[in-house]
Amino acid sequence: MNTEQSKPLIGFTCGDLNGIGIELIIKTLSDSRILDQCSPIIFASNKSINFYRKSLPDINFTYQSIKDFTKINTKQLNVFNCWDEEVAINAGQLNEIGGKYARLSLQYATDALKQGQINGLVTAPLHKKNIQSQDFNFTGHTPYLQHAFDLKDVVMLMVASNLRVALVTEHVPVKDIASHITRENILSKLQVLNESLKRDFGIDKPKIAVLGLNPHAGDEGLVGDEEQIIIKPAIKEAKDKGIFAFGPFSADAFFARAGYTDVDAVLAMYHDQGLIPFKSLAIGDGVNFTAGMPVVRTSPDHGTAFDIAGKGKADPSSFLAAIFECVDIIKQRAAYDENHSNPLRKMSNMIIANATDEAIEESPEE
């Protein structure tokens, strides 16, 4: 396979049209070295791309416009036109238009992903309120993609060079978190996370630290009993299934003492418990990865940033990291699947090889 054929086709959603998504796309993909790693397809429209390109005059950003995947040029940027109409873009404003076209971009990209027309997907930030519609009743990308691929469970996994943090609950009101902390949910997340660490990150025997729900992990039931009656039994059952999980740990002490450096991943009980320390430690290079899917999807670890949209101030570091992570995981999965395909045939080859070696060793000297 030559270099061009081996490059993955990576789709990019535009996110909320009034947010920083397209600016991030222009800033990251304008570096021609990206084309050495992947072939990008942006799901948006020429007019939307050009609107933000004009506000970044110092950046050279060229592309070809397509409406047919057979026309993709792997040696340059491709914009797949999801709509042709004029759209009023008001950078920095939360309105219905921004949500409507973010949804349209995501739907086109998801269809392409399901049909195998692209190999991976990097999603730009959307706003969870204005994207709601009859066709989109989800709290974000993760549950939407879980539904689109009809999966029993997936895991929101935050990834950086120095740590990985997964969540049991995602965008759930604080008052409802405890009702979602069940033995079944924790065990399911641990199983998905464990398999992802093996297949997507190449870790043979992953170590997973599990955080408690309550302050000080419940203080032996003094400030909450979820650790005793739910989390510890879930960890034990996970161990019985061959998953090296341990805890529960008090979240504040765990991160303060850098406990994450001794494990391959951390399972937090809820959004802020995991993401506040993650974003503090990742320092702008964090990536949101949806573990447990048959395809690879990543995104930056931040939102639409309406306050700086259209001002050319958006930092592309996390978006660039999301691209590299997407490509790396695609390659790691391919290597893992190759190494674990048809084990009986590999075992037979090993037996034949060993028998041949023994025959050579036992042959008489000439």
Using one digit for the tens of pLDDT, what is the confidence trace for 14-46? 999 999 999 999 999 999 999 999 999 999 999
pLDDT attached to residue 188: 98
pLDDT attached to residue 283: 86
pLDDT attached to residue 6: 77
Given the structure tokens 């086709």, which residue do they identify? 9
Average pLDDT value for the chain: 92
- CATH number 3.40.718.10 is the correct assignment for the domain at 1-151+293-366: yes
Q: Is 170 exposed, middle or buried (0-12, 13-18, 19+ CB in 10 A)?
A: middle
Q: Is 297 exposed, middle or buried (0-12, 13-18, 19+ CB in 10 A)?
A: buried
DSSP 81: E
pLDDT attached to residue 360: 45
pLDDT attached to residue 3: 44
Cis amide leading into 294 (omega within 30): no
3-class DSSP state for residue 79? strand
| pLDDT range class, residue 365, cuts 50, 70, 90 | very low
Task: Please give the Cα distance from 105 to 79 (Å, whole number).
Answer: 11
Q: What is the pTM (predicted TM-score) of this model?
A: 0.90
All structural domains of the chain with their residue ranges: 1-151+293-366, 154-289
| pLDDT range class, residue 366, cuts 50, 70, 90 | very low
Residue range 191-206, pLDDT digits in tens: 999 999 999 999 999 9
| 309 or 161, which is more confident | 309
pLDDT attached to residue 345: 53
Task: Please give the Cα distance from 125 to 118 (Å, whole number).
Answer: 20
| 342 or 50, which is more confident | 50
User: Which among 193, 172, 165, 184 is positioned nearest to 259, based on CA atoms?
Assistant: 165
Over residues 291-320, the mean pLDDT reads 96
Q: Is 19 exposed, middle or buried (0-12, 13-18, 19+ CB in 10 A)?
A: buried
pLDDT attached to residue 76: 94
Runs of H (alpha helix) within the chain: 3-6, 21-29, 46-53, 96-114, 141-148, 177-180, 183-199, 226, 232-240, 251-256, 271-282, 317-339, 343-362
Is it the case that residue 319 has pLDDT exceeding 50?
A: yes
* CB neighbour list of residue 150: distance below 8 Å, 6 or more residues apart: none
Whether 141 and 299 have beta carbons less than 8 Å apart is answered as yes
State both tokens at 73. 């040029």
Residue range 51-66, pLDDT digits in tens: 999 999 899 999 999 9
Is it the case that residue 358 has pLDDT exceeding 70?
A: no
Residue range 139-163, pLDDT digits in tens: 999 999 999 999 999 999 999 987 9
Q: Do domains 1-151+293-366 and 154-289 have the same CATH topology?
A: yes
Is it the case that residue 363 has pLDDT exceeding 60?
A: no
Return the CATH number of the domain spanning residue range 154-289: 3.40.718.10
Dump the DSSP string for 299-324: EESS---TTTTTTT----HHHHHHHH
pLDDT attached to residue 27: 97
pLDDT attached to residue 2: 38
Return the amino acid letter for 350: M
